[in-house]
Each structure stands twice: as C-alpha cells, then as structure tokens.
Structure 1
Amino acid sequence: MSTYAGRGLHGQVVNYVGSRIMRGDLVPGETIDLDALLHDFGVSRTVVREALKVLTAKGLVDARPRLGTYVTERSRWQLLDHDVMVWRSQDDPDPLLVLELGEVRQVIEPAAAQMAAVRRSDEQLTRMSQALAELEEKFDVEGDLHVEADLRFHRAVLAAAGNELLERFEVVLEPALHARNSLVIRHESSTEFLRKHRAVFEAIQARDPDTARMRMQELVAGAAEDIASILSKKPSTKALLDARDRAL
C-alpha cells in the first residue's frame, strides 16, 4: 500500500507527521515542533510549510497566532482520505479502523455484488475470473501477494456494479484488506476462504443477483467476525471495544 505520493523530502515529512498523528504519538491540541522537523530532515522552512499545507488539507493540523501549528481534533480529520487510512492501517492497525471498515464492507459490497450480477459485461467477468484464479494460486504464498489478488477481485466486482461512486470505494477497500491480512493471516482455512470467493463469482457469472448478494454478505461478514474475535482477545483493545459496544 502506498502512502502520500509527494516526492523527496517533502513527501517524507508529510508521511512522518501524518503517521505520528495516526499512531497517537501526536495528540489533538499538541503543538508540532517545526524546528525539530527542520533539524531531523535537514530541509528548508519552505519544504516544511508545504508539507503542513498537505496535512492541513487533510484536516490533521492547523495553526493559530502565538499557539503555532498544532494537531486538530479528531472530528476534523478527513478519515476517508486515502493517506489517512493508510497511516491508520499500517504496522499495527488501528483496531477501531479495522472494525469499522469491516462494517462498511458489509453495508456496501453485498449490494455491489447484487448490481454486478445484473450489469456486468463479459469483459468484467473475465477480469473477475482472472483475479480469482490468481487468488487461488497465490493464497498459500507468504507475503501480500494473495492480498493484492483479493483486492483485484473485489475491485472487479465494484467496477462491474456499474456505479462510479461504488467503484471509488476502493479507497476504503485497499486498507481494509491489508489491515485484515495483518490480523487474520491463516485464521480461516484456505479452502473456506476461496470457496466463499468462488461462490460470489459463480453467482455473478449466473446473473443471479439475490444469490450474489447473499454470498458476498457471507464473505464479508465472515471476515468481520474473524477480526472482532481476534481483537477481543487483545487486552489493549478490549476496553476500546467494550466502550464502543456500550455506545451503540
């Protein structure tokens, strides 16, 4: 998964500060030490200023006279921004992000599969088939190879739904699959994981919208249940999950 695409030192400063905010190293209200950035990266004030403009546009930082540049309240963060999601899902993923991404997938992807079964073209079905074949081939390979194939499969389903806004859902889908992979590697058997994907494909191939919706619901719900089960066993996240459940 790629982070902020800015080149050189400018991009490094953006990714460094953005990642620190997402990890909680810099908390809302905390002032950012600009002199430290200048020293640590050996850059000019212009480079730091441009990097902070990027972070301001993402809602992560702001500046006030006499207060300086500070981290904003979470309510201002652009949580659907691609870079923000990547920063939250890299390394040790934010458990709240992982859970909420799973819930969003359950809302959106079954409907997308239902629409794809009606609207898909033969070319789109071929792309799904190729992604599925690659997923089956690479699932037992170490690393992220099967995650990339999985992402291509789900992207193909979204594209076949024939809705441009749904197709853009990949900004959520990519970090969701990578974060799930970091938590659920080999939790579900390869046979069951691949069976669920093939069942989605076959329903779309047969132009059976109701079955396509049902099979995708089974697939994404299973992933969400796996994640919730794993996270509930981590002492560091149990309190967060309990507080979240009480708020529902």
Structure 2
Amino acid sequence: MISFRSLSERAISSHDQVARALGMEILAGKHLVGSNLPNEADLLARFQISRTVLREVLKTLSAKGLLAAKARVGTRVTHPVHWNLFDAEVLSWKVAIGLDDDFRRDMAEIRRLIEPRAAALAAERRAEDAIAAIRTALDRMRIVDQEAVRFAQADLDFHLAIGAASGNLLMRSIASVIETALAASFSPIAPREHPELHAETVAKHEAILDAIVAGDAAAASAAMLGVINDAAPRNEGGAGQHGTTQ
C-alpha cells in the first residue's frame, strides 16, 4: 500500500492527499477491479480523518470514474474503461506511479490525432499574438546554456502555445493535459550536454513555426507529426529515441 505520510507532510486530514493516495493505489492495481475498498472503519483508522472527509474523497474518486458505490454492495473499483484519464489529477497520479509501454503508446496515438491538426489550424488562423507566444517559447528552447528542466519547460510551452493557437478551446484543453503529462514523464536533455541533439530538436520545432507563419497547414501538420514520432516509443513499445520531452 502507498504510504499516506510519504506523499505529503501536510495534515493527514487533507482531502486532496487522501484522494491522491487512494487514487494512485487504484491506478497501480493495489485495489483490484471489481473489488470493494477496505471498509469505512479501516479507512478512517488509516487516514485519521472524519467520516465527512472520507465520504467527500469517495465522491471525488467516483466522479473521476475510479469508484462506483451501490447500496448493499459497497464502494467498488471500476473497470479502467470508466476511468477519466483526461482528468488532470488522474493523469498526474498515473504519471507519478510510472507510465508503462502500453500507456506511452496510447499517449503517442492521441498526440498523432490531436497535435498535427492543432498545428494545421494554427497555420490557417495565424493569430499574431498566438504566433508570438510560440516564437517566444522557441527562443527559450534555443538557449544552449540552460538546465534540462528549463529546456523542458520551454519545450512544453511551445506545444501548449500551438494548442492555444489552434483557436479550438476543446483541442487546447486536451492538448494541455497530454503535454503536461508528457513533461512530467520524460527525462529532458540538458542542451549543453547534448549539443547536436539540442540543435536537431530546435530545428524540428522551428520547422513547425515556419510552416505556421507561412500559413502552410499541411507542412505544419507534417512537421508536428515528425516531432511526435521522434518522441514516441519505438515500435510502439519501449523508450523513445531521445530524452526530449516532446
């Protein structure tokens, strides 16, 4: 079982931390699909919380699709098909316990569906402020003398800016969740330690921006797909070729 105290030094009555602890355990398979959670008395003793807090936690997890409560049956763990993995908290919990190859493959497939189209829409709409945000992120990516985490954040901001530049609020929202999860799950590169890879990564992102500025939707889509394929698991099973986040 995941230790509650190992997750946070905050008060043990925290609703968010109890939800996180149980949510991560469900995602990790500690509570089997179709099985009941430990009874109320055990959960109260474990987390040292009130019944009111526990009931709110269970409501939260039920709203995210992880649990289902039925009279005379109890609170059961639902099948993964019901889990809302586009919920930012659920996805953050999944990242925290570690992404397996199948989940990385699934994420790559979703990226191929969403991000090339977002880049194409950005090229079609060419909003000046949106392009400026993309360019600013790319300029930050170009900096050689920076830590890996700063490069990764600039990379993330580049992709988030393209999601925003699509002008589609739903696409922007989905892309934001996916990109944030990716940034948390990949090991970024330090530009000064990998100069050739850094230059190659920046050039491929620059090609996306150039196509957007030129209003070439097809080229923007193709350039984005190339970046995604570089970061995707090889043969849909295994780590990506590079340590870049995108």
Q: TM-score range by the shorter chain?
A: 0.7 to 0.9
Question: How much has 1:40 moved relative to structure 2?
Answer: 2.5
Partner SS, residue 222 of structure 1: helix
Query: 1:177/1:226 Cα in 2 relative to 1: closer, same or farther (>3 Å)?
Result: farther
- Between the aligned residues of both structures, percent identity stands at 34
Question: Residue in 2 aligned with 1:236?
Answer: none
1:158 and 2:163 equivalent?
Answer: yes
User: Of the candidates 180, 194, 203, which is equivalent to residue 202 of structure 2?
Assistant: 194
| Unpaired stretches in structure 2, ≥5 consecutive residues | 1-10, 241-246
Question: How much has 1:23 moved relative to structure 2?
Answer: 1.3
1:21 and 2:26 equivalent?
Answer: yes
Query: 1:94/1:139 Cα in 2 relative to 1: closer, same or farther (>3 Å)?
Result: farther
User: Of the candidates 30, 49, 73, which is equivalent to residue 67 of structure 1?
Assistant: 73
Q: Is the 8 A contact 1:88 1:94 kept in 2?
A: no
1:171 and 2:177 equivalent?
Answer: yes
Question: Residue in 2 aligned with 1:135?
Answer: 141
| Unpaired stretches in structure 1, ≥5 consecutive residues | 1-6, 233-248
Q: Is the 8 A contact 1:197 1:219 kept in 2?
A: yes
Question: Residue in 2 aligned with 1:220?
Answer: 228
TM-score after normalising by structure 1 = 0.80
Q: Is the 8 A contact 1:98 1:176 kept in 2?
A: no
Q: Is the 8 A contact 1:147 1:178 kept in 2?
A: no
Partner SS, residue 143 of structure 2: helix
User: Of the candidates 96, 104, 112, which is equivalent to residue 90 of structure 1?
Assistant: 96
Q: Is the 8 A contact 1:139 1:190 kept in 2?
A: no
Determine the C-alpha separation between the residues in 2 that align with 1:35 and 1:178.
35
Q: Larger deviation: 101-110 or 46-55?
A: 101-110
| 1:43-54 matched pairs, under 5 angstroms | 43-54=49-60
Question: Residue in 1 aligned with 2:218?
Answer: 210
Task: State the Cα deviation string for residues 125-179 of structure 1 (Å, max 9, x = none).
Answer: 111111112223278514x333322221111111111212111121222213322
Partner SS, residue 230 of structure 1: coil
TM-score after normalising by structure 2 = 0.81
Determine the C-alpha separation between the residues in 2 that align with 1:138 and 1:42.
49
Query: 1:185/1:102 Cα in 2 relative to 1: closer, same or farther (>3 Å)?
Result: farther
Aligned Cα RMSD in Å? 2.5
Query: 1:64/1:167 Cα in 2 relative to 1: closer, same or farther (>3 Å)?
Result: same
Partner SS, residue 75 of structure 2: strand
What is the number of equivalent residue pairs in this alignment? Answer: 223
